[in-house]
Amino acid sequence: MPKEGFVTSITRQSEDFPGWYNDVVLKAELADYSAVKGCMIIRPYGYAIWESMQGELDRHIKATGHSNMYFPLFVPKSLLDKEASHVEGFNPQVAWVTHAGGKKLEEWLAIRPTSEAIIAESVKDWIHSYRDLPMLMNIWNNVVRWEMRTRLFLRTTEFLWQEAHTFHATAEEAADEVRTGLDCYVKVAQDWLAIPVIQGRKTEAEKFPGADYTWCIEAMMRDKKALQAGTSHNLGQNFARAAGIEFLDRDNIRKHAYGTSWGFSTRMVGATIMTHGDDSGLVMPPNAAPVQVVVVPIFRKDEEKAAVAEAIDKFTAALASTPEGKAVRVKVDWREESPGFKYNHWELRGVPFRLEIGPRDVAAGQGMLVKRVDRSKEPVPLMQLAAEMPARLAAYQAELFQRALDFRAANTHNADTFEQLRDGLDGEGGFFMAPWCGDTKCEKQINEEIGATIRCIPFDSPDEKGKCLKCGGESERRVLFARAY
């Protein structure tokens, strides 16, 4: 870590990753604990990051033909019970409303842990013929899953997310939709948050309760653990059968509709922190940064202040003179605090560029530009900088993505035996591509013994015969093992 760092108040990432993570979240004021166990408060800076990824994902969801709408918070117990594997999967985590309006309720109401059950019940009245399909719905809401151990953003009792729910006339269309959903997530993760992801299919044990299969994207955090960054489920006709969603097809035969659902949540704020952050705190990818450039004025006397203010005004005016420049999120920090205090404040918050402008800079028509990710310092003529800022931010964004890609490549290994996997995970850690027979029993044993899960069967894992590292049975291709959030 270069000595120019200003943030000293947080645990070092290399020494205690979970401690570092909590320090960053709390001290950068992204979120806070609440009076309700397991529920978090998302503070303005954290919420602005969420709003940024939410806005970007919403654009992708709408561009692919989905409409936003809203379904109730409550799911009557009888509805949740309809799809057998669904209720079995979620029942242990449900919060129940039993009293309301001063009375005991006749039927308990679940706070939605997800909305498949209430949606299936509703759409059966809207779907009559193939002409009503596909039905492409999306919902931004809050859900509740009662968790034993919670972590800010990563696993909270209540969280915010988007859940898409779609219905189709054919199995093929539903399968295509699973891809559409995953593509939206890949774009937001990689292009917006600069988080490289591995796409693949979940194992039977890890798939969504009630789904035929689940696709996912998995990302590597700076501690080399995996984080599931989005899932897209093919529900087949399971919920349609349970709820009775039938339509009259072109061939005049009544059929059950095919469903999908896919979700992306506030845990992606945590993923952004853990993919890019360093010992000094957050390192924000410019696209999602609430502030992209912070200008810190440096002066002692009043006449110095006036000159510095004038130079800053010229810079921001020049920046605003082009559409791309106008879109840059600049903040001039005029607070009555020392420059050091401000450097610390914005460094911790991961603002991509800091621009220091003092009296000597004004005389030279320049500013000192400091890049958060590597703390490189560079004096740049202000007018030139105003013209270059959009391109510099784009380059920074690409650099962060490449850095994360390189980090993941350097920490992904093959493991051919159980011992290699165990020793690898206990040693340097990372992602391990290893042969597996496809049996849930082996998967569970490995998990129990060394705490690793199969994150997914990556789509790009080539055919490669091998021996399952647990039972020695035949393996068709390597799958991705890791310890995970």
Q: Which residues of 439-468 are buried (b: 16+ CB within 10 A; e: fewer)?
A: beebbeebbeebebbbbbbbeebeeeebeb
Q: What is the dihedral of CA 62, 67, 72, 78, to 10 degrees?
A: -110
Listed residue (260, 281, 261) closest to 272, CA to CA:
281
Kindly state the number of chain residues that form the binding site for a copy of itself, as judged by CB under 8 A.
54
**Residue 62 backbone class (left: φ over 0; alpha: ψ -120 to 50; beta: rest):** alpha
- At closest approach, how far in Å is the CB of 44 from a copy of itself? 4
List 413's β-bridge partners, or say none: 432
CA–CA dist 178, 201 (Å, integer)? 11
Report if residue 35 touches a copy of itself, rule: CB under 8 A. Answer: yes
- Based on CB atoms, which residue is closest to a copy of itself, 150 or 228? 150
Q: List the one residue from 47, 185, 315, 432 that touches a copy of itself (CB under 8 A).
A: 47
Binding map of a copy of itself across residues 156-185, x = CB under 8 A, - = no contact: --x-x-------------------------
| 147: its two tokens | 């968790």
Distances (CA, A) of 360 to 340, 364, 370, 379, 382: 18, 6, 17, 11, 13
Tell me how far, at minimum, the Cβ of 80 lies from a copy of itself, in Å.
Answer: 11
CB of 351 to a copy of itself, least distance (A): 16
Residue tagged 């290994």 (tokens): 413
Residue 101 interacts with a copy of itself (CB under 8 A): yes or no: yes
Tokens representing 425 are 């995970």
Closest-CA residue to 256 (of 272, 236, 274, 275): 236
Spatial separation of the C-alpha atoms in residues 199 and 376, rounded to whole Å: 34
Stretches 45-53, 220-228, 309-317, 388-396: which one binds a copy of itself (CB under 8 A)?
A: 45-53
Binding mask 321-340 toward a copy of itself (x if CB under 8 A, else -) reads --------------------
Closest to a copy of itself by CB, 122 vs 414, is 122
Choosing from 9, 16, 65, 68, the residue that interacts with a copy of itself (CB under 8 A) is 68
Of 90-98, 250-258, 450-458, 470-478, which part binds a copy of itself (CB under 8 A)?
A: 90-98
- Among 425, 417, 428, which residue's Cα sits nearest to residue 478? 417
Stretch that binds a copy of itself, among 136-144, 219-227, 365-373, 439-447 (CB under 8 A): 136-144
How many residues does this entry show for the chain? Answer: 485
Q: How far is the CB of 237 from a copy of itself (least distance, A)?
A: 21
Residue 350 identity (one-letter amino acid): G
Q: How far is the CB of 264 from a copy of itself (least distance, A)?
A: 16
Q: Quick one: three-class SS letters along 110-136? A: EECCCCHHHHHHHHCCCCCEHHHCCEE
27 touches a copy of itself by CB under 8 A: no
Interactions with a copy of itself, residue window 137-156 (CB under 8 A): 137, 141-142, 144, 146-148
Nearer to a copy of itself, 131 or 444 (CB): 131
Q: Which residue has the tokens 């969603």?
A: 245
Q: Which of 6, 17, 21, 71 binds a copy of itself (CB under 8 A)?
A: 71
Helix residue spans in 145-266 (DSSP H): 171-187, 238-243
Q: What is the nearest approach in angstroms of a copy of itself to the Cβ of residue 143?
A: 10
User: Which residues contribute to the site for a copy of itself (CB under 8 A)?
Assistant: 32, 34-36, 39-44, 46-48, 51, 67-76, 79, 91-102, 108-109, 111, 118, 121-122, 125-126, 137, 141-142, 144, 146-148, 158, 160
